[in-house]
Amino acid sequence: DPTLHTPIHNDKEKLLNGLLASGFEDASCVSRLQSHLYRKVSPHKPSSYLISKLRNYEEIHRRCGPNGKDYHKSMRKILNSGDASICKYLIWTPANGLGNQMVSMAATFMYALLTNRVMLVRFRKDKQGIFCEPFLNSTWLLPEKSPFWNENHVETYQSLIEKEKANNNSKLDLPSSLFLNLQYRPNLPEKFFHCDHSQALIIKVPLLILQSDQYFVPSLFMTPFFNKELEKMFVEKDTVFHHLGRYLFHPSNEAWRLITNFYQAHLAKADEKIGLQIRVFNPTLTPQEAIMNLVLNCTIHNKLLPKVLGMKNSSDKNKTIVKVVLVASLYPEYGDNLKTMYTNKSTSSGEIIEVHQASGEEQQKFNDNKHNMKAWVDMYLLSLSDVLVTTSLSTFGYVAQGLGNLRPWLLYKIISNDTHFPACEREFSMEPCYHAPPKHYCSGKPIKDFASSFIYMRKCKDFWFGVKLL
């Protein structure tokens, strides 16, 4: 138990340099106290401005959140479309897998911080008991009895902006709740969510339901309304998910037990931990052998893993460098293949390579609590690596790299006959890629080149249409 080796509880480290609030009851979320024992200290310090925004947010959440004194009053006003509500809300709604959900939760929280809204999450059974409560003395769970568990009776953002256009700038009757869908769909009309005139409308609506599977933080940086504030909050622009992710996502005690048990059994003894995330989006199009070749090309060529020479002989006994590979994949075959390859073999570097895989679910499952728990455990374990290899386009990998402060080696998606790509390339930023950025400036002109208009943004390496912060 690593707690035994740290006689002094260093509060500054434990609270991630002020990112986390003090005052939580310890036993309810052990990972919040212990995670710093498993991670390297982050060289990225949260700005004092971000810290003050978070402490201020926690105050608002305590007052306006489900256990707060202003919750019921505010909700009643919103439901009766009465005069201005005391509190404003942002209800997050899931779409897609857990990685997608986590990057969109972080983006939604960013939006809540910028607009002084209280973020509540619609967690059904599939996500219960996976994360700790992130906000001191309150809950982020949308209460079971809330009428906002579905949005059927709620006006959509799309219809609002159409009405606005038709109304020719004369005064609009604004609803008291609005459903905003920021999910990725090819060929949808531009939403202009990144524009001041949209935000000026939305800001007047006390309750928003937001559905997204996207990390839309770059679009907030593009919005003049928010830009100055964001620049103040984040001195290093490529640390947004790193900070917000470490602030929001603490493994529940059950998840923490699984994570730490696996860690102690397999990872703790390693001289170097290599995380290898193999996400196969279309197993029928991409045969296992091709993927295995890609993985080996990447890892061996870049000297992350050594070549196998032959059967181990006794002189290897005093070679003590142990590299442990943590494989995360839906398919147990990848871990098994690597294990077979390295077990009892001598290697070109003399290192001993151990391979472990925590789960192999075979397929992605929806609305399944145990399955989500395993996914979270895998993402968290990957984030504890020293070196990380991830798969292009995968938000599952984005979560691991952001939590872990890791710039991964990015496996390129295999496209048949596309041999001119290297097997993998090093990422330039640990931020998640935003796969569905705006295509137009607020004037309606198409955006040709992000980097020249928005200084902190670059095209993603793994998705040509995506952008990310750096």
- Per-residue burial over 350-374, b if 16 or more Cβ lie within 10 Å, else e, is ebbbbbbbbbbbeeebeeeeebbbb
Q: Is 211 in the site for ligand GDP (CB under 6 A)?
A: no
Q: Which of residues 320-339 bind ligand GDP (CB under 6 A)?
A: 328-330
Nearer to ligand GDP, 71 or 396 (CB): 396
Which listed range, 131-139, 188-196, 304-312, 374-382, lies at the site for ligand GDP (CB under 6 A)? 374-382
User: Contact with ligand GDP (CB under 6 A): which of 61, 250, 273, 279?
Assistant: 279
Question: Which residue's CB is nearer to ligand GDP, number 58 or number 126?
Answer: 126
Give the integer Cα–Cα distance in Å for 109 and 103: 10
**The tokens of 398 are what?**
């984005």
Query: By CB under 6 A, which span of 97-105, 116-124, 185-193, 340-348 interacts with ligand GDP?
Result: 97-105
Q: Does 93 bind ligand GDP (CB under 6 A)?
A: no
Contact between 96 and ligand GDP by CB under 6 A: the answer reads yes
CB-based contacts of 6-11 (< 8 A; 24+ apart in sequence): 6/37, 10/36
Contact 114, 229 (CB under 8 A): yes
> What's the min distance (Å) between Cβ of 73 and ligand GDP?
37
Strands 118-121 and 89-93: parallel
What is the number of H-type helices and E-type strands within the chain?
Answer: 16, 15
Q: Under the criterion CB under 6 A, does residue 390 sit at the interface with ligand GDP?
A: no
**Contact between residue 37 and residue 3 where contact means Cβ atoms under 8 Å apart:** yes
Q: Is 374 in the site for ligand GDP (CB under 6 A)?
A: yes
Task: Give the span between the Cα atoms of 187 and 182, in whole angstroms.
Answer: 13
Does 99 interact with ligand GDP (rule: CB under 6 A)? yes
- To ligand GDP, the closest distance from the beta carbon of 317 in angstroms equals 34
Q: Provide the minimum distance between the beta carbon of 374 and ligand GDP in the complex, in angstroms, as a whole number.
A: 4
Residues 6+ away with beta carbon under 8 Å from 52: none
Q: What residues numbered 8-27 form the site for ligand GDP, per CB under 6 A?
A: none
Query: Given the complex with ligand GDP, which of 46 and 218 has the nearer CB atom?
Result: 218
Q: Is 100 in the site for ligand GDP (CB under 6 A)?
A: yes
Judged by CB under 6 A, the residue of 176, 359, 390, 401 near ligand GDP is 359
Selected from 98, 112, 201, 353, the binder of ligand GDP by CB under 6 A is 98
CA separation for the pair 327, 334 (Å, rounded):
7
CB of 380 to ligand GDP, least distance (A): 11
Residue whose beta carbon is closest to ligand GDP: 97
Q: Is 385 in the site for ligand GDP (CB under 6 A)?
A: no
- Least Cβ distance, residue 115 to ligand GDP (angstroms): 26
Residues binding ligand GDP: number (CB under 6 A): 19
φ and ψ of 104, to 5 deg: -75, -30
Label residue 319 exposed, middle or buried (CB < 10 Å: 0-12, 13-18, 19+): middle
SS3 459: strand
For position 61 contacting ligand GDP by CB under 6 A, the verdict is: no
The answer to whether residues 236 and 44 touch, using CB atoms and an 8 Å cutoff, is yes
CA distance 117 to 61: 8
Choose among 290, 267, 459: nearest CA to 381. Answer: 267
- The secondary element (H helix, E strand) that includes residue 388 is strand 387-391
Q: Cα-flanking dihedrals φ and ψ of residue 424, to 5°?
A: -155, 165
Contact between 381 and ligand GDP (CB under 6 A)? no
Shortest CB 168 distance to ligand GDP, Å: 41
List the one residue from 164, 190, 272, 361 that touches ligand GDP (CB under 6 A).
361
Per residue, what are the HEC states of 303-322?
A: CCCCCEEEECCHHHHHCCCE
| Contacts with ligand GDP, residue ranges (CB under 6 A) | 96-100, 279, 328-330, 359, 361, 364, 371, 374-375, 378, 394-396
